[in-house]
Amino acid sequence: SCSVLNESRNLKSIHLGDEDSIVDQLLIELKFALPSLDGTTDVTSLEIIQQAIFYIHELSLTLDDDVSVTSGQGIIQHRCQQV
């Protein structure tokens, strides 16, 4: 979205010595990237990180399910060919 691009541009203009500002900007960018947060809700840094971890976990489970389904279909096709 436009706000994420604006935040990214702001991040590039920060001096490298200002690490707190860099972390704050990265958290803002992460907040906008998470589907569970709308980007405008006031949340703490810890809540943003927790939501990111939860989202990554959910993506991992979804990918595992997709791999299992694909592998299972290959086994079924192989067994059908043997009969």
pLDDT tens track for 59-69: 999 998 877 76
The predicted pLDDT at position 48 comes to 95
pLDDT tens digit string along 9-33? 555 554 555 788 899 999 999 999 9
Q: What is the model's pTM?
A: 0.58
Question: Among residues of the chain, what percentage have pLDDT more than 90?
Answer: 43
CA dihedral (29, 33, 36, 41) positive or negative: positive
The predicted pLDDT at position 65 comes to 82
